[in-house]
Structure formats: structure tokens, C-alpha cells
Amino acid sequence: MKKTVLKLTVAFAILMMFIGASAFKSDSGKAISDFNLRNTNGKSVSLSDYRNAKGFIVIFTCNHCPFAKLYSKRINDLSAKYSALNVPLIAINSMDTLIYKEESFAKMKLKAKGDKFNFPYLQDAMQVVGKNFEADHTPSAFVIWKENNQWKIKYKGCIDDNGENPQLAKSFISNAVDDLLRGKSVTNPETESFGCKIFYRK
């Protein structure tokens, strides 16, 4: 029963966000504070490192989730395309490494190497960034955009609408970034994200 109440609360919150989004189109979305996380190459990464960035594609993903595994190539392609347009892509792993052995930093390194990631793959060891974004599943995708010197969430949800068949998929992420690059508000600012649940330690 408790869970249902929670679900309804979440659904209500999402609904309110929609209403909010449509009423105040120009500055919609939660502001995200900058972070400093360790990349698989050993260096740390912050949003402020990217001086020319107009916005970011932020993907919460992980090593073991079968649905997330489908997206490595697509994320590489998105990164290649949009970092050239000053919208870099950053992937973050917020999974609890104490519970999931597969999500260790060592395994993240192997994953980044094996899948030839052309973007930073960051470990959110304290889970603070995941909580700040309210990322609930892997994979889940966000587009944040610079507005009044703040990073505002402009899109949240899934990467596209077909995990197994990329050729049939409609890319929500591409559409959102393209809208923003054209100076428009995002046509479809929110979709459902699903895959493996991210459990947050209390």
C-alpha cells in the first residue's frame, strides 16, 4: 500500500512538473549544481571544465544492466555528434557498489575500454549526483542547458523508444538537443525511463 502511495505521489509530482513546464516554458526544469566525479581514466570531471558547453547530455548507466548494455554504441554516436556542437555527453554510474560487485570502479574501467567510450564514464560513489538528478533507472537520460548561469534540466526520460532495434527508434535525446540548439523549448520534455532500478542508500 505504501508503495502505491509513493507511486501516486511521484505521478502527481511528475504531473505538476508537466503543468509547471507548460506554464513557464522559458525557464522550466530543476537547476543542477556542479559536481566533481572520478572518471575511469583516473582524472576528475566537473561541468565547469567545459568552458564552451551550451548544455550537456547526461546519461545514468551502469555495467550490469541488460537494457543499459544495449545503448553503448548509440551513446558513443550521440557523444560524437553533439560534443562537436558544444553539447558534450557525460555518463554517470550511481549504482551502489557495496550491493553490486559488478559496478566496481575496476569493472567500470573495463566497460569504458571494452565499449570504446568516447565520453567520460564517472563514478558517483556517494550517489549525490544521481539523487540531485532524481535518476531512477539505468539507462536514464537528461539534457541540461545553461540558463542565467545555471544548469537547468530540459529533458528527462529514456534515450529513445526502442532498446533492441536502434534503426526503428525515435531519439528523444536528439530531438531535445536539436530543439534547444535551435533556441526552441523542448517539444517532448519528459518520457518514462525504465531498465534497472537505482537503489539509493539512506
Partner 1 sequence: MKRIAITLSLIFGSLFGNAQYNNLWIPDTLSGTNFNLAIKDTFAQIVNTGNQTITGGINGKFWGPTLFMNKGDVVHMNVSNNLNDSTTLHWHGMHLPAVMDGGPHQVIPPGTTWQPYWEVKNDAATYWYHPHLHEMTEEQMIKGIGGLIIVRDAVESALPLPRTYSVDDIPLVLTDRDFNTSNQMPLLPYGDSAMVNMTLRPQYTIPAQIVRLRFLNAAIERGFNIGFSDNRTFYVITSDGGLLSAPVPLTRYVLHAGERIEILVNCTGQNGTSVDLKAYNSTLTQTDPGGDILPANTIFANYLARIDFNLLHLNIGAQTTNPITAIPSALTTVTTIPASSADITRNLTIADGPQGPNGVIFLLNNQIFDINQIDYNVPLNNTEIWQISNTGNFGHPFHIHDVQFNILTVNGTAPVAAQAGWKDVVYVPAHTVVKFIAKFEDYADSIHPFMFHCHIALHEDEGMMGQFIVTGNTTGIKQLSGDENLFSVYPNPTHDKLFVKFNDANQSAYYIKIFDALGRTMLMLPRPQLQDGIDISQLSKGAYSILLTDDKTKQSTSKTFIVN
Binding site for partner 1 (CB under 8 A): 1-5, 7-8, 64-67, 98-102, 158, 161-164, 191-192, 194-197, 199
Name residues whose C-beta falls within 8 Å of residue 183's C-beta, 6 or more positions apart in sequence.
none
Of the pair 52, 167, the CB lying nearest partner 1 is at: 167
Q: Is the Cβ of residue 1 or residue 84 nearer to partner 1 in the bound state?
A: 1
The least distance separating partner 1 from the CB of residue 166, rounded to whole angstroms, comes to 12
Q: How far is the CB of 51 from partner 1 (least distance, A)?
A: 37
Q: Which is nearer to partner 1, 3 or 182 (CB)?
A: 3
Nearest residue (CB) to partner 1, 7 versus 113: 7
Of 136 and 179, nearer to partner 1 (C-beta) is: 136
Shortest Cβ 37–partner 1 spacing (Å):
21
* Long-range contacts at 187-190 (CB < 8 A, ≥ 24 apart): 188/155, 189/21, 189/28, 189/29, 189/154, 189/155, 189/156, 190/14, 190/17, 190/18, 190/21, 190/155, 190/156, 190/157
State the nearest-atom distance from the C-beta of 4 to partner 1, in Å: 6
CA distances from 116 to 80, 91, 111, 130, 150 (A): 12, 13, 8, 24, 31
CB of 20 to partner 1, least distance (A): 21
